[in-house]
A and B are shown apart, each in its own frame.
Chain A
Amino acid sequence: MERQQIIDGLVDILKTIRTVDQSKLAGINEGTDFIADLNTPSTEMINIAAKAEQKFKVEFDDDDIDGLGSKVKDFVDLIIKAKARA
């Protein structure tokens, strides 16, 4: 799966989350920070991770989430890592 495909999938997820600033979704790239750039509440990160599991058909470990950063790149890396170990 290409990294851009994952980003597109993440944007689809973010469109369903009302606490995310929808006006900023158009310009998302790997450097975008969910919290700083999209005003995503930090508590929402778990929800996004849970939806990413379903969307990309992967399973994250609790420890994966402990070490997860708040940038789009961090999610893309995690999804690729989870797919590789599946």
Chain B
Amino acid sequence: MIDKTAAIDNLVGIEPAVVLSHGPTKILLDKYLWHSPDAGIVASYTPTERDVKDHFGIFRGVDQIEAFAQATIVSCGAFTESRKLNCSFAELKQIFIPVFIGIGPVKFHSYLETGDTFISIGQIVIYKFRQMVCNGRIYKAPEGLDLDAYFSAFNKERLTAYDLSNDFVLVAELQDVTGRALKREVLKQ
């Protein structure tokens, strides 16, 4: 249990369910691999049988976008806001609901099947008035790669350059993914 995010430097090692407001059947995020609060994040997910059910074994593009949004604008926004308010993620969830409000161009280059582990790599463009914009990419990770070890040496320069080894396969490019934390009472109006 994290009482205050001021006690942690970043999201690595935190369970996504602690950060996200989504319930277990809607979380498309397994692990935070690297996070720099003022720059961006890398997080992973492996689609399950349930995720691809009725979709010929393929993880849908729309779910890729949702997974990317959860990993980037929602998680990074929650971290930044909880720090600003000096509160826990649980307290933050009582006050705000994350709202997905916009997305720019998306290009799909490849696809993901059940059991394929992918990473969302997101760069923070702006965070203002509880609204975050991220650009980024989704890559299929090489099978069997120890992602924790691999990203332990990651840094902002490599994030900006999408500097990954050649065995990562580009799956999607996403621009202007935008989300905002709205107060629960505002959302009800």
Contact = CB atoms under 8 A, between A and B. Distances in A.
Interface of A: 41-43, 46-47, 49-50, 60, 62-63, 65-67
Interface in B88-117: 101-102
B101 A42 contact: yes
B131 A67 contact: no
Contact of A62 (B129, B176, B178): B129
A67 B189 CA distance: 11
A66 B183 contact: yes
Contacts of B186: 66-67
B102 A65 contact: no
Contact of A46 (B131, B176, B182, B183): B131
A76 to B, nearest CB: 18
Contact of B102 (A41, A49, A66): A41
Instruction: Tell me which of A41, A42, A43, A49 has the highest count of chain B C-beta atoms within 10 A of its own C-beta.
Output: A43
A46 B179 CA distance: 11
A43 B182 contact: no
A50 B101 contact: no
Interface string B126-153: 1011110100000000000000000000
A57 to B, nearest CB: 17
20 contacts: A42-B102, A43-B101, A43-B131, A43-B133, A43-B178, A46-B129, A46-B131, A46-B180, A47-B126, A49-B129, A50-B126, A50-B128, A50-B129, A60-B129, A62-B130, A63-B183, A65-B129, A65-B130, A66-B186, A67-B186
A9 to B, nearest CB: 19
A27 B186 CA distance: 32
Contacts of B126: 47, 50
Q: Which 3 pairs across A and B sit closest by C-beta, in order of nearness? A: A43-B102, A65-B129, A46-B131
Contacts of B182: 66
B65 to A, nearest CB: 15
Nearest to B132: A46
A9 B133 CA distance: 25
A66 B182 CA distance: 7
A60 B130 CA distance: 12
Instruction: Tell me which of B101, B130, B131, B182 has the highest count of chain A C-beta atoms within 10 A of its own C-beta.
Output: B131
Interface in B169-189: 176, 178, 180, 182-183, 186
Given A49-B129, A66-B182, 7 more contacts: A46-B128, A47-B126, A49-B128, A50-B128, A62-B129, A65-B129, A66-B186
